[in-house]
Amino acid sequence: MGDELNDSGCLEKSRNDSVSEHEDERSHSPDIHFEPVMKLPLIDVKTLEEDEEVLLQLRGKLYRYVTTPGEPPEWKERGTGDVKILRNKAGYCRILMRRDKTFKVCANHYVSASMELKPSHGSDKAWVWSTLADFADEEPKPELLALRFGSVENAQKFKEKFDEAKKMQVQTIKEGKLAAAESEAPTKELESLAIKDEGKEAKDEEEKSSTAVPESPSGDAAESPKQ
């Protein structure tokens, strides 16, 4: 009888272990689905790059020249990621660079005709240039920047596209001035015509007043002198 009790106890223990294992498997099963407490709508995030043409996209490391009062000036790394030269529909080009992983903007400024890429001392893979208004920190401020690439070929590609963007900028400004001049020309012509019309009307009024019969002091028209 003791053996029977032992056997039944072992059987019960085995049953409990099996149920416990089954519950553990169910609790760790990847098929378990929980409904979210709050459903959030999908948001279409805009980067303002959607309507721009990508002229160039290369990987590089960006540095900025920092001058702090009381400390020696130095180059500080600003970020590593893809640098792009973009052109918008109006024809203006800008340089945009975002950091890896965070995608935070570390360079964002227009390319101007006065900008010049200068080779970095001791490296043929890096370029240095300055901008009067960089918008990476939201507020525009002048920056001295340096960009280092992984190869000489990429550095040369950047230089070629940078110079090409400068020429595009000059052409866009010329076309803008020409379009403005052309739009102003009809307005000036209309203004001159209006002035001519006003002068003609004034002359007609003078002629009418000189040929009109003067009135007598009594109010009756004066008789024309007899021949």
Q: How many CB atoms lie within 10 A of CB 80?
A: 16
Cα distances (angstroms) measured from residue 34 to each of 23, 27, 62, 101, 173: 17, 12, 45, 29, 58
More confident residue, 120 or 32: 120
pLDDT computed for residue 219 by the predictor: 46
Is the per-residue pLDDT at 85 higher than 50? yes
- Distance CA(125)–CA(162), nearest Å, equals 15
pLDDT computed for residue 13 by the predictor: 54
Mean per-residue pLDDT, 202-213:
55
Amino acid at 133: A
Q: What is the pLDDT of residues 94-126, one digit of tens each?
A: 999 999 999 999 999 999 999 999 999 888 999
The CATH number of 53-171, from 2.30.29.30, 1.10.3720.10, 3.90.1170.50, 3.10.20.30, is: 2.30.29.30
The pTM of the full predicted model, rounded to 2 decimals, is 0.63
> Residue ranges per domain, the chain?
53-171
Instruction: Indicate the DSSP class of residue 219.
Output: S
